[in-house]
Amino acid sequence: MYQVLYRKWRPQSFSDVYGQPMITAALKNELRTGRIAHAYLFTGSRGTGKTSCAKILAKAVNCLNPKEGDPCNECDSCLGIDGGTILDVVEIDAASNNGVDNIRDLREEVNFTPSVVRYRVYIIDEVHMLSSGAFNALLKTLEEPPAHVIFVLATTEVHKLPATILSRCQRFDFRRIAPEDIAARIRYIASQARLADGGMRDALSLLDQCISRSHEVTVESVADAAGLAGRDYLFEFSEAVRSGDGGAALALVGRLHQASRDMERLCAELIEFYRNLMVIKSVPDPSGLIIAPPAELEQLRTEAGAYELPVILHCMD
pLDDT of 79 higher than 60: yes
Task: Count the neighbouring beta carbons within 10 Å of the beta carbon of residue 126.
Answer: 21
Sign of CA dihedral 158, 160, 161, 163: positive
pLDDT per position as a tens digit, 101-158: 888 888 888 888 888 899 999 999 999 999 888 888 888 888 888 899 999 999 999 9
Q: Give the distance between the most distant pair of CA atoms in the chain.
A: 71
Taking the C-alpha atoms of residue 197 and residue 298, their distance in angstroms, rounded to an integer, is 23
Mean pLDDT value across residues 48-72: 92
Helix (H) or strand (E) holding 136: helix 132-143
Task: Count the neighbouring beta carbons within 10 Å of the beta carbon of residue 83.
Answer: 8
Taking the C-alpha atoms of residue 40 and residue 36, their distance in angstroms, rounded to an integer, is 10
Higher pLDDT, 290 or 79: 79
pLDDT of residue 161: 92
